[in-house]
Amino acid sequence: MIDAELPDIAALEPTETLRRRWPTILGGLLSVAMVVMLGRELLGSGLAGLSRATPDSPLFYLAFFGLYMAAPTGDFIIFRRLWKIPAAGFVALHKKRIANDVVLGYSGEAYFYAWARARANLVAAPFGAVKDVSLLSAIAGNAATILLCALAIPAGYQLMPPNVLNAVAGSVMITLAISLGLIFFSKRVFSLPRRELWWIFWIHSGRLAASSLFVALAWHFAMPEVSLWTWLFLSAARLLVSRLPLVPNKDLLFASFAILLIGQDQALSEMIAFVSALTLGVHILLVVVFAAASAFSFKGRRP
């Protein structure tokens, strides 16, 4: 009789609130945004690139695979050491990269933070690590930009119009100021130990070097009549142009510089368009595969 008067124990447990569910909601919204933006990009300029003649060499696709995998692999190495994330974390890091590419800058970090928050068994407070890894990625990119400018401007300043040269110089000063500011206030900005920070910085630097090498190899195998050293120089220029904050129309500037260096403007434009379209195509394929795997997994867990 006493047992009949007691409330059900499950009724005493707190219900899941919106505050507890926000990582899952945010992750779902960003996943939808990824699908929408990927479709928009592919139906825009992407299909034009895919309709061009594709490279015949299988080495092109091998180099492209290395290029595509460089960023998420570098992140996985970092977070595997920091959090011991399982293989499923590699999927989340791919989604992080796709969100950054097609939705909005640093939206991928928001997605990955939400993913980590939803898995408290991995890490209790993921914000500090996600922030530090993101900032160190920017610092590594800025350091590469400053180094490349120091090497390229003395040799190539005569090829730049005065307004572009001024924009590049201003961009270098801003990039240097931001990097020095982060380093100067590192004790207040960063959360991880100094030894971990240096290790993460070198992983990011290696990832940038690998990406530059793989893109140069892909371009070389697509247009083998141009020497690999020329493509390596252009891959460095691509990294440089992509990170300069005051330079408008970065893609146009890089394309103009590449055409000026090697000529073959139509073939070069088609090859760059194809690489961009292929990247979008792989993004879409992965999003579809991840969604199907998630749906299958959810269906398998249902009673």
| SS3 sequence of 225-240 | CCCHHHHHHHHHHHHH
Q: What is the pTM (predicted TM-score) of this model?
A: 0.76
- What percent of the chain lies above the pLDDT cut of 70? 64
**What residue spans define the domains of the chain?**
21-36+55-301
Is residue 142 within 8 A of residue 179, CB to CB? The reply is yes
Is residue 258 within 8 A of residue 234, CB to CB? The reply is yes
3-state secondary structure 217-270: HHHHHHCCCCCHHHHHHHHHHHHHHHCCCCCCCHHHHHHHHHHHHHCCHHHHHH
**59: Cα separation from own chain's centroid:** 23
In this model, does residue 293 exceed pLDDT 80? no
Tell me the C-alpha distance between 278 and 46, whole Å.
8
Q: What is the mean pLDDT of residues 67-83?
A: 92
For tokens 């690999």, name the residue.
Answer: 228
Q: Which two tokens stand for residue 5?
A: 């008067």
What b-and-e string marks burial along 283-293, b requiring 16 or more CB atoms within 10 Å of the CB?
bbebbeebeee
What confidence score (pLDDT) does residue 11 get?
42
At 88, is the pLDDT very low, low, confident or very high (cuts 50, 70, 90)?
confident
Cα angle 156, 225, 157; round to 5:
5
* 173 compared with 65, residue with greater pLDDT: 65
Encode pLDDT of 150-189 as tens digits. Answer: 766 665 556 566 666 666 667 777 777 877 777 777 778 8
CA atoms within 13 A on the CB side of 223: 22
Encode pLDDT of 202-247 as tens digits. Answer: 999 999 999 989 998 998 998 888 888 888 878 877 777 777 665 6
Is residue 239 within 8 A of residue 148, CB to CB? The reply is yes
